[in-house]
Structure 1
Amino acid sequence: MAAWRRPVLVRGPLGIVTGIELAFFLLFLALLVWSYSAFINLDFSKIHAKLDRAALRLGHVGSFCCAFLFFPVARGSSLLPLIGLTSEASIKYHVWLGNLVMLFFTAHGLCYIVFWASTDQIHEMLKWTRTKVANVPGELALLSGLVMWVTALPRVRRQMFELFFYAHHLYALFLVLFALHVGVAFFCSILPGVFLFMVDRYLRFLQSRVRVRLVSARLLACDAVELNFCKSPHLTHSPMSTVFINVPCVSRLQWHPFTVTSSSSLEPDRLSVVVKRAGRWTEKLYETISSLPPSQPGHLDVSVEGPYSQATPASFLQYDSLVMISGGGGITPFISVIRELVHRSGTAAEAATPSLLLIAVFKTSADLAMLDLIVPASGGFSDISRLELRIEAFVTRESVPSAGDVVAIAHKVPAEEVLFKPSPSHAPIAPVLGHNGWLWLAAVVSSSFFIFLLLVGAVQRLYIYPVDGNSNRVYPWAARTLLNLLLLCVGIAVAASAAVLWNKRRRAEEAKQVENVATPASSPATWLDKPRRGDAEVGRRPDLRIFD
């Protein structure tokens, strides 16, 4: 199994692919080819309109891919941790499936257009029947899918990320039009993935409506800011977790992911992220915080989604030594690793911690201030002496004569601490479904689907069946589909809202206990220029070497 997990493809359109990923990908392609060939052999043995049937089966195979499309993007899903995947690691599977879906659906639409044009039936493109497959919504669904597909191309996404981000919200229109095109019965073939994604998306929406409490911000000399949030002690996360942050005063629509630099073991009531000024959003956030007067603390409205992390213990604990290589702001994932190991090294019950070598590459000497993030803003970090940590920092765009000068340059502008006063409307970051999230998620999924089935049964029996029973009337296919989608949304909204409100009431007492968390009176002293004391007093300090 270790050999299967090694990368076999490094350069290529699929990115870094392990042996087991490549094997499953090839098996999945073989399944699609076999399914399509089986359909074609069956159809061509009975009819002569081969292009028509070939186009139909392309749509069926595309729907088979679409059935798996939404599983990888359910961030809070309980299925991904079962196979050792995180939400960010599974995005590439969503990309692969999305390309296959649009490839088959585009071929499906083009084949039908060619067939209609060759048989003088081009008017079929404007046909919207009441009881059969509707062509118009299918064409509109294909157009919305093409917009998402084109804007998701790597070159477009990297240069115009906001265009990609907003265009990808057309998935809701795509799903509705797809359901109107094929009908509610065939839509059930892709319902499991769509249903779990809708539950996850609604829970994320409820979590994003809460304004979280920002305790303090630490402004570094390298144009970076560390945001320290108050969190519930019941909220635990593994190192290298990610959160999505929205600051309404900067942008009401933009959500940006950041790596969590804090350790839930070392800092049970804090959650920290680091934002490096590198774009319009980050620059505006940095200017907003730096313009606040330190003598008159205010408050800043912030919303958070997450954190998202692995359910299994950190895999790096199984090694005897770790080599971590970072460039610039890429050091942030390793900050949480170091803090986690500091906590474990100070706990007698834990096994021996691995030795660490951190190789950090920075553009300028001012960026060396990023190393100050190893020390939490709350201080209390003397246990770092028990950790075998060696740091080698490289400055690539400056000529620095000595390590002592580098330290002096890096601390000409000391870190500035900006404190925020609590607001009654702000709450600590807490799990949206409480600390028993898996059980609550199972309850939400099962109860929401039960509510959906109950509502569908009542509406079908009392409203739709009487209409269908009349020989002169047939209930429209589109209205039936929209009604079922509406009832599905109602079931999810009722079950998820009830679960979130119940857990919110249970957290009310806990929030009162942590709302008065003491904020640091001043910025902690940097450990880079901390004087060396005797080994009997504090033990060793980290070995820091700086190169130009």
Structure 2
Amino acid sequence: MRNILKMLMLVAFVGWIFVWIMVSTNVFKNKWTPKMAKYLNTTYFGPQGINLVLLTVPMMFIAVLSSVYLHIQKKPTQTQSKWKIKGRMGRVMMVMNPLGIVTATEFTFSLLFVALLAWALANYLYLSYHVSLHNDDNAKIWQAKFRAFGLRIGYVGHYCWAFLFFPVTRASTILPLVGLTSESSIKYHIWLGHISNFLFLVHTVVFLIYRAMINKLMETFAWNPTYVPNLAGTIAMVIGIAMWVTSLPYYRRKKFEIFFYTHHLYGLYVIFYVIHVGDSWLCMILPNIFLFFIDRYLRFLQSTKRSRLVSARILPSDNLELTFAKTPGLHYTPTSILFLHVPSISKLQWHPFTITSSSNLEKDTLSVVIRRQGSWTQKLYTHISSSIDSLEVSTEGPYGPNSLDLRHDSLILVSGGSGITPFISVIRELIFQSQNQSTKLPDVLLVCAFKHYHDLAFLDLIFPSDISVSDISRLNLRIEAYITQEDKKPETDNNHRLLQKKWFKPHPLDSPISPVLGPNNLLWLGVVILSSFVMFLLLIAIVTRYYIYPVDHNTGSIYNFSYRGLWDMFLGCVCIFIASSIVFLWRKKQNKEGEKESKKQVQSVDIQRPTSSPGSWFCGHERELESVPYQSIVHATSVHFGSKPNLKKILFEAEGSEDVGVMVCGPRKMRHEVARICSSGLAKNLHFEAISFNW
């Protein structure tokens, strides 16, 4: 069944790409289009029929089949499935700014995509200059060619929009097919955004210059009811420039609120963009927008519930660990993230945080770690530290890779600062796997660099509170910790704070975190995609045949150009709303009993954890008897003061293993250094994977 599904998806994708290659050619425009128009541009779909069938249907078909495929493939109880996905699409080829870490596969596909853009521009210009150069303004030939160049640059920018929203669809059924998550593919969204905005800016500037030359500059603000409305394009470009400028690294990292709020203008951008290009061009880029808005609405439905916050731990390093209740049917892979929203801090902001728990090891709870940096996390820390006994929190997710392959002879985990958090979930997953005596576990080396000694408290989180000695007996873990900004162990004094634990009272509206569409989330997501798209096609056919078509052919007038695109957007949103709401409410009703049971289990939890911090043992605090498993952390840890890890030496010393998995999460400089070492070719046994939450 899986092979059949893969073959069908591959055929559909190759056909889809072939159409994109041909759509700019003279053959497609003058030979194929007239023939296909007889069958596809019917009274039920109008001029958008060809693009709807050739460029929308194939990707929607793939999205539905992939949900079935991933549902069959994903077996939560078997963490070591035979199916192996390359986490970041192959081996590292090069590390270069501003692109960062680029694998061979990424580089190849990037070149092919640039070649597609160049091919499209060349074909469009050929059609303009040698076949049918339009000159309705009676301009000079060179001016008309200049205008044609600007117009075709806009066409090429439209190609980027066919892929722009795929990387930011969090619950995607497309990305997992190539081993990607929305977090790991954000950079593709950034690249496509830069390219498309640059091309659209050139398109706009060329038309401004052209209209100035022919003394028709005011046409920039014209709204033609029967053709392309220039004013809509101008408004879209103004919004696009605002989003483009505020998405640059300075604003994303230093002024996040400006970036966050400005980027939410994308809704207006899409509306005016579609009004400008029309319904036929919308159907060329519709799949990624349609799937994104399904995901966006399902995220909204999930976030309407309050999530049950069970407890919080304040580490000596002023970091927070929040523990939520979850349904046993919620499964996620290590390195996944959860988005949090705290209305008392901000009504609009959502922030992603790494999950440190394992869904296999901890059936009823889910934990995330939050580092206190930035205004939002500072306010959250203040809230948690105060005397409040409950906190309203909404969540979206978890989101992460569909599977994570840990089948290596050795595993080297390199982290910097809070970059250790995804590796906590990896180690806990290995603890779960160790319970199966037949499973071969890799030797694990955790290399962690911290600025200050008290950051060693991150190591407190490696083992769950209820772990036993027998659970970790098969785990061969070694930790090399580096304190980079302190030269020696600090003296033990009263300033060293102990771990603080806080329990929150349940609220009647609290619910455990659960998959938005229930345990079989992927399968039901496919149902939502299929039902909403089929409904969309039916409604478009009805509106076109019985409303738009009579206006075009019976009244002697032409139906408003802008209204066609608005109809597509309106009906698409209506179909997404109806299909998603029905499936969500149906699944919510089915899962109600399970959630009630989970609530009872969580509310009955009253397990007290040690009040001292295992991280404080390094400072000479007395060890508690019930914390014996934590002693293995101390025994396995070597602390180095005043130095940074020699990553090249550490990685090249991984001898004796044919297969060494290298995972890194931390500052950009650290990730790039590890990537360069692994891509140098000096060690053939290193298999690299980077985890980055910095855009």
Paired-residue identity, %: 46
Corresponding residue for 2:12? none
Greater relative contact order (CA < 8 Å, ≥ 6 in sequence): 2
Corresponding residue for 2:400? 309
Kindly indicate whether the alpha-carbon contact (under 8 Å) linking 1:366 and 1:410 is maintained by their aligned counterparts in 2. Answer: no
Name the SS for the 1:69 alignment partner: coil
Corresponding residue for 1:343? 432
Q: Which amino acid aligns with 1:18?
A: T
How far the C-alpha of 1:526 sits from its partner, in A, is: 4.9
Mapping 1:378-389, distance limit 5 Å: 378=466, 383-389=471-477
Corresponding residue for 2:122? 37
Corresponding residue for 1:228? 323
Q: Which amino acid aligns with 1:547?
A: H
- Aligned counterpart in structure 1 of residue 391 of structure 2, from 291, 300, 307: 300
Q: Which amino acid aligns with 2:510?
A: H
Deviations 1:247-284 (A, max 9, x none): 11111211111110000111011110011111211111
CA distance in 2, matches of 1:411, 1:225: 19
- Aligned counterpart in structure 2 of residue 499 of structure 1, from 580, 583, 588: 583
Corresponding residue for 1:196? 291
CA distance in 1, matches of 2:494, 2:448: 15
Corresponding residue for 2:364? 269
CA distance in 1, matches of 2:443, 2:106: 31
Q: Which amino acid aligns with 2:457?
A: A
How far the C-alpha of 1:378 sits from its partner, in A, is: 5.0
Mapping 1:295-444, distance limit 5 Å: 298-312=389-403, 314-315=404-405, 317-349=406-438, 351-378=439-466, 383-401=471-489, 412-444=496-528
Q: Any gaps of 5 or more consecutive residues in structure 1?
A: none
Corresponding residue for 1:446? 530
Kindly indicate whether the alpha-carbon contact (under 8 Å) linking 2:407 and 2:441 is maintained by their aligned counterparts in 1. Answer: no
Mapping 1:15-414, distance limit 5 Å: 15-46=100-131, 47=133, 48=141, 49-292=144-387, 298-312=389-403, 314-315=404-405, 317-349=406-438, 351-378=439-466, 383-401=471-489, 412-414=496-498
CA distance in 2, matches of 1:347, 1:532: 29
Matched, 1:14 2:99: yes
Corresponding residue for 1:5? 90
Kindly indicate whether the alpha-carbon contact (under 8 Å) linking 2:240 and 2:269 is maintained by their aligned counterparts in 1. Answer: yes
Kindly indicate whether the alpha-carbon contact (under 8 Å) linking 1:422 and 1:515 is maintained by their aligned counterparts in 2. Answer: no
CA distance in 1, matches of 2:119, 2:178: 26
Corresponding residue for 1:543? 636
CA distance in 1, matches of 2:259, 2:336: 24
How far the C-alpha of 1:384 sits from its partner, in A, is: 2.1
Kindly indicate whether the alpha-carbon contact (under 8 Å) linking 1:419 and 1:519 is maintained by their aligned counterparts in 2. Answer: no
Kindly indicate whether the alpha-carbon contact (under 8 Å) linking 2:336 and 2:399 is maintained by their aligned counterparts in 1. Answer: yes
How far the C-alpha of 1:95 sits from its partner, in A, is: 1.0
Q: Which amino acid aligns with 1:257?
A: P
- Aligned counterpart in structure 1 of residue 548 of structure 2, from 436, 456, 464: 464
Name the SS for the 2:367 alignment partner: strand
How far the C-alpha of 1:235 sits from its partner, in A, is: 0.8
How far the C-alpha of 1:481 sits from its partner, in A, is: 2.3
CA distance in 2, matches of 1:432, 1:29: 37
Kindly indicate whether the alpha-carbon contact (under 8 Å) linking 1:218 and 1:377 is maintained by their aligned counterparts in 2. Answer: no
Q: Any gaps of 5 or more consecutive residues in structure 2?
A: 1-84, 134-140, 642-695
Kindly indicate whether the alpha-carbon contact (under 8 Å) linking 1:274 and 1:332 is maintained by their aligned counterparts in 2. Answer: yes
- Aligned counterpart in structure 2 of residue 476 of structure 1, from 532, 545, 560: 560
How far the C-alpha of 1:231 sits from its partner, in A, is: 0.6
Matched length? 535
CA distance in 2, matches of 1:157, 1:133: 34
How far the C-alpha of 1:348 sits from its partner, in A, is: 2.3
CA distance in 1, matches of 2:420, 2:486: 20
Summarize the Cα distance change of 1:153–1:531 in structure 2 as closer, same or farther, 3 Å threshold: closer
TM-score of the superposed pair, with normalisation by structure 2: 0.73
Summarize the Cα distance change of 1:115–1:299 in structure 2 as closer, same or farther, 3 Å threshold: same
CA distance in 2, matches of 1:333, 1:383: 20
Kindly indicate whether the alpha-carbon contact (under 8 Å) linking 1:183 and 1:477 is maintained by their aligned counterparts in 2. Answer: yes
How far the C-alpha of 1:157 sits from its partner, in A, is: 2.1
CA distance in 2, matches of 1:375, 1:271: 14
How far the C-alpha of 1:51 sits from its partner, in A, is: 1.3
How far the C-alpha of 1:531 sits from its partner, in A, is: 5.8
Name the SS for the 2:306 alignment partner: coil
Summarize the Cα distance change of 1:89–1:163 in structure 2 as closer, same or farther, 3 Å threshold: same
Corresponding residue for 2:10? none
Name the SS for the 1:442 alignment partner: helix
Deviations 1:3-41 (A, max 9, x none): 993323312221111122111111111111111111112
How far the C-alpha of 1:347 sits from its partner, in A, is: 2.4
Name the SS for the 1:75 alignment partner: coil
Kindly indicate whether the alpha-carbon contact (under 8 Å) linking 1:382 and 1:538 is maintained by their aligned counterparts in 2. Answer: no
Summarize the Cα distance change of 1:478–1:172 in structure 2 as closer, same or farther, 3 Å threshold: same
Summarize the Cα distance change of 1:381–1:511 in structure 2 as closer, same or farther, 3 Å threshold: farther
Kindly indicate whether the alpha-carbon contact (under 8 Å) linking 1:324 and 1:359 is maintained by their aligned counterparts in 2. Answer: yes
CA distance in 2, matches of 1:179, 1:520: 55
